[in-house]
């Protein structure tokens, strides 16, 4: 009895609310006051529907759908067929164009039915109220929620046209199986856009939102079909379609063609997601905040940055990338096929050195999305692959010597540090070219000692190697002895300098980020930096070329206008590298194990050189 009395009191209060709005509307001053109150309490600016975001390749094809909790692809007003608008209005809210957000007679009937049953059984929600509910993301059947929904519906009717409300409604409603909005439903259930669906298919989809659990087409196809037929009868009864057409629509055979989520090239898209985070940090000021922050402050800032990324994904952005699928597929195939017989891992990077765009990334053998991505997360010792950047280019730049000048390849010691040549032999005086293409160690260490460690490391600064620091300032760095190491992406990116006359600009995967309306919202602000002169660069290109034609990388050679590279092998054969370039692309390949151990058994097979050659060949 007490419970029933409480429902009656709520009903009286609700009626008073309706009366209040009607009374207030009669007085202009009071109307302004009431509206001002609502505007203060209810903000329309923050009402936004979550959208699915997309990653596209260089050819503008979708390669990945970035979903949050929902999948939605909104349509503009003109792209929603008038026919389906009529279906929704007839089935959900026949007085849509007459009411101001709520249907008082229907609400009264629903209220008394609910009081009678002592629960909320009927909602009598208008299209506007249902839209408000989707904005509020509150689906609890309580009177507080219903009252809040009414206020928002009232404001929506004041601030937006009926067509805007109807458009947002079609994009907002739930169609089961994680699909929100008509376009997402059309693509998921029929693998096609709304524009290409038949009337029968559209009515079938319109049957779902009334009760997405009961009318889930995957689990309850027959029930959904029965509701579709009831809607067809309703359309015929209201002369929207003819009796003859209604019979034809019912007879049309329907079958689901479920679309799977697009998620291609995981090696590349995993990195794109990381690069987007970097781009947001740079454009929104997080990078500067992190530079001077304490460890505790960094933790807070990182959380804020993660939330910024999550919020942006909900806005339906499109991330345009430089990925070329043909090159990506070739690189993945080359690495997987070559390394298949071996218990080892690998990574590969392909960069267009003139546009500074990352064309392909291979993260590992048979890579799965969000696993450890070796292309940019594996910090490994670079071995002799660092020599062009840290030793030879700086030396030629500082001394202006030619590649045929002499350098000592004999025994060398500095204190207790006594590096050895790979063969264990001492070669005496040799040309720089000979020392370079055969990757002798002792002349490289001598050269670093000659130009000075600190001076040589200034040449690495433009490349911003993440884990290279003053801890690495020692002579063994000349042969790749670093405390943490360098990633395949970092090293390959640095080598693009040899394809740009000694000038470096950071390579990126992301070309642009656009909002749901196609407007660019952020971009990279990278600038080119001159690292060494054109003269030095040309000498280095000759050395790299000779290494491929007659040096340590000759197994990678094939006839080409230009081909140059440098190999690297770390102590105890734990890592194999080759990084080099053609006239258009710079390619880096690393082969090793996640837990470093000797790969001497496969050294003669030179898998890194075979992978590089397959990627480079057109």
- Give me the active site residues, please: 92, 384
- Tokens, residue 76: 């503009």
Which 3 state secondary structure label does DSSP give 564?
Answer: strand
Is the Cα torsion angle 148, 149, 150, 154 positive or negative in sign? positive
Residue written as token pair 């009864």: 237
Cβ neighbours of 110 (radius 10 Å): 18
DSSP 82-130: HHHHHHHHHHH-TTTTTSSSS-HHHHHHHHHHHHHHTS-------HHHH
Euclidean distance between CA atoms 302 and 304, whole angstroms: 5
Using alpha carbons, list the distances in angstroms from residue 555 to 94, 103, 149, 338, 439.
Answer: 76, 79, 71, 14, 15
DSSP 242-264: -HHHHHHHHHS-----PPPPPB-
Judge residue 492's burial from the number of C-beta atoms within 10 Å of its C-beta, 0-12 exposed, 13-18 middle, 19 or more buried: buried
Euclidean distance between CA atoms 268 and 285, whole angstroms: 26
Residue written as token pair 């199986």: 177
Interior/surface letters 347-383, b for 16+ CB within 10 angstroms, e for the rest: bbbbbbbeebbbbbbbbbbebeeeeebbbbbbbbbbb
Euclidean distance between CA atoms 41 and 577, whole angstroms: 62
Cβ atoms 323, 359 nearer than 8 A: yes
Report which of 237, 255, 243 is spatially closest to residue 198, judged by C-alpha positions: 255
């Amino acid at each position: 009895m007490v419970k029933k009395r409480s429902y009656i009191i709520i009903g009286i209060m609700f009626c008073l609310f309706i009366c209040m709005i009607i009374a207030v509307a009669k007085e202009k001053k009071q109307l302004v006051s009431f509206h001002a109150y609502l505007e203060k309490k209810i903000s329309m600016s923050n009402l936004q529907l979550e959208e699915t975001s997309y990653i596209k390749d260089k050819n503008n094809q979708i390669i990945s759908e970035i979903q949050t909790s929902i999948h939605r692809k909104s349509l503009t007003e003109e792209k929603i067929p008038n026919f389906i608008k009529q279906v929704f209005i007839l089935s959900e809210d026949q007085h849509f164009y007459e009411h101001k957000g709520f249907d008082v007679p229907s609400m009264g009937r629903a209220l008394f039915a609910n009081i009678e049953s002592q629960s909320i059984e009927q909602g009598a929600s208008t299209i506007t109220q249902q839209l408000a509910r989707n904005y509020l993301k509150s689906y609890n059947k309580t009177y507080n929620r219903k009252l809040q929904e009414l206020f928002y519906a009232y404001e929506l009717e004041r601030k937006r046209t009926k067509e805007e409300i109807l458009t947002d409604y079609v994009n907002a409603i739930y169609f089961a199986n994680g699909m929100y909005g008509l376009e997402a439903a059309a693509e998921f259930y029929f693998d096609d856009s709304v524009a290409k669906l038949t009337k029968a298919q559209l009515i079938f989809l319109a049957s779902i939102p009334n009760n997405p659990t009961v009318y889930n087409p995957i689990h309850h196809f027959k029930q959904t079909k029965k509701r579709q037929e009831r809607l067809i009868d309703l359309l015929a009864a209201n002369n929207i379609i003819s009796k003859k057409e209604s019979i034809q629509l019912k007879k049309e055979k329907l079958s689901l063609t479920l679309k799977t989520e697009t998620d291609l090239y995981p090696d590349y898209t995993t990195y794109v997601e990381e690069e987007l985070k970097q781009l947001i940090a740079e454009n929104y000021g997080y990078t500067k905040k992190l530079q001077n922050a304490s460890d505790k402050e960094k933790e807070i800032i990182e959380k804020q940055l993660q939330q910024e990324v999550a919020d942006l994904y909900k806005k339906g952005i499109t991330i345009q990338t430089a990925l070329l699928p043909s090159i990506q597929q070739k690189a993945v195939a080359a690495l997987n096929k070559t390394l298949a017989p071996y218990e080892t891992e690998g990574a590969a990077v392909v960069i267009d050195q003139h546009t500074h765009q990352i064309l392909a990334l291979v993260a590992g053998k048979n890579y799965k999305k969000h696993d450890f991505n070796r292309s940019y997360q594996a910090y490994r010792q670079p071995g002799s692959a660092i020599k062009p950047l840290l030793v030879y280019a700086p030396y030629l730049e500082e001394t202006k010597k030619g590649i045929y000048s002499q350098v000592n390849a004999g025994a060398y010691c500095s204190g207790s540090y006594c590096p050895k040549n790979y063969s264990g032999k001492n070669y005496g005086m040799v040309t720089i070219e000979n020392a370079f293409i055969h990757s002798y160690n002792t002349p490289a260490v001598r050269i670093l000692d000659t130009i000075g460690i600190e001076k040589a490391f200034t040449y690495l600064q433009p490349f911003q190697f993440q884990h290279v620091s003053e801890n690495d300032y020692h002579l063994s760095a000349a042969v790749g002895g670093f405390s943490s190491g360098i990633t395949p992406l970092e090293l390959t990116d640095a080598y693009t300098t040899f394809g740009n006359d000694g000038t470096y600009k950071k390579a990126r995967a992301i070309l642009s980020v656009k909002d749901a309306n196609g407007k660019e919202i952020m971009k990279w602000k990278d600038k080119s930096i001159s690292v060494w002169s054109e003269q030095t660069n040309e000498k280095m290109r000759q050395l790299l070329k000779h290494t491929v034609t007659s040096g340590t990388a000759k197994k990678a050679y094939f006839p080409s206008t230009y081909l140059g590279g440098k190999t690297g092998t770390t102590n105890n054969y734990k890592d194999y590298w080759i990084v080099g370039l053609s006239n258009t692309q710079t390619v880096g390949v690393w082969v090793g194990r996640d837990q470093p151990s000797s790969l001497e058994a496969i050294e003669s097979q030179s898998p890194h050189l075979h992978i590089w050659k397959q990627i480079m060949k057109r």
